[in-house]
Structure 1
Amino acid sequence: MPTNEVRLLRSAALSDVAEYAYGAVVPPDSPLVFAAGACPLDEDGTTVAVGDYAGQARQMMRNLSTALAEAGAALSDVVKTTVYVASTRQQDLVTAWEVVRDQFGDHDPPSTLIGVTVLGYDDQLVEIDALAALKTS
């Protein structure tokens, strides 16, 4: 494996039920991108898809992709995420997670999924923060 690639970690000793890797190793010369929490806001700062976990998660992921692109990164460069869902219902967390998982495709970085009481914007149901590693040439 080339030394400039992120390595996602899996272990036969851990369950494969989780839909993400259990860890990631970043090459020592890779610059890191610390993305602020991406929210389900449109370009005017209005919360989209009020009451819709999946709709908000799609906008959140678009916003994350845009923020990463500003640093020269993509979703495939993400090495860790935390997804926050304002709900006490596990199904709402799963609904948001399915959107996140689908947006990452075959790239399954380590992630934490958390149910929270409230998020920062009016009508906001989801938020994601991410750490990405830029590839070095």
Structure 2
Amino acid sequence: MTAVRLVRSRTLTEHVDYAYAATVTGPLRAVWTAGACPLDEKGATVAVGDVAGQAERVMRNLRTALADAGADLTDIVKTTVYVASPRQEDLVAAWEVVRSHMGGHDAPSTLLGVAALGYDDQLVEVEAVAVTAAPRTPEP
């Protein structure tokens, strides 16, 4: 069972593909990720010039980072998606890949066009906050 509950507003538009807020309950453990980048195992940027291709690798890397921290995409309470482009169609291309990975878990998110990102040829980065149930401490 997840500790995350996605909140939809009854007064804001229903025509968005994300929840407006998220709440968490119970004994919890928070996970903050660094921005997931489109880097392969050797540290090279993949899919140079391809926003959707980079977003695909970013989401695979984000899922791996979350798994290493004991979480999954369904534990996310908030994402921020950065796209190094002033073109709305590039932002939408990245967003479509992010949404496809998130499935029905449409956590609140912010999508931003930025001037540049940290690695050579990098176009996409996604950071997340996730919350899981706190692990039980063993009985003495």
Q: Give your verdict on TM over 0.5.
A: yes
1:1-137 matches, cutoff 5 A: 5-136=3-134
* Deviation for aligned residue 1:21: 0.3
CA-atom RMSD in angstroms:
1.3
Secondary structure (helix, strand or coil) at the match of 2:17 reads coil
Q: C-alpha separation between the residues in 2 aligned to 1:46 and 1:38?
A: 13
Deviates more, 1:119-128 or 1:18-27: 18-27
Contact 2:7 2:19 in 1 (8 A): yes
Task: Identify unmatched segments of 5+ residues in structure 2.
Answer: none
Q: C-alpha separation between the residues in 1 aligned to 2:88 and 2:65?
A: 28
Alpha-carbon displacement from aligned partner over 1:28-87 (angstroms, at most 9, x marks no partner):
521100000000000100000000000000000000000000111000111100000000
* Deviation for aligned residue 1:92: 0.2
Larger Cα-atom Rg: 2
Secondary structure (helix, strand or coil) at the match of 2:120 reads coil
- 2:86 maps to a residue whose letter is T
Q: C-alpha separation between the residues in 2 aligned to 1:5 and 1:34?
A: 15
Question: Aligned residues: percent identity?
Answer: 62
Query: Could you state the TM-score of these two structures normalised by the residue count of structure 1?
Result: 0.95
Contact 2:3 2:132 in 1 (8 A): no
Contact 2:3 2:26 in 1 (8 A): no
- 2:28 maps to a residue whose letter is S
- 1:77 maps to a residue whose letter is D
* Deviation for aligned residue 1:5: 2.5
Alpha-carbon displacement from aligned partner over 1:70-114 (angstroms, at most 9, x marks no partner):
111000111100000000000000000000000000000000000
Where do 4+ consecutive residues of structure 1 move more than 4 Å? none
Q: C-alpha separation between the residues in 1 aligned to 2:6 and 2:53?
A: 28
Q: C-alpha separation between the residues in 2 aligned to 1:116 and 1:86?
A: 5
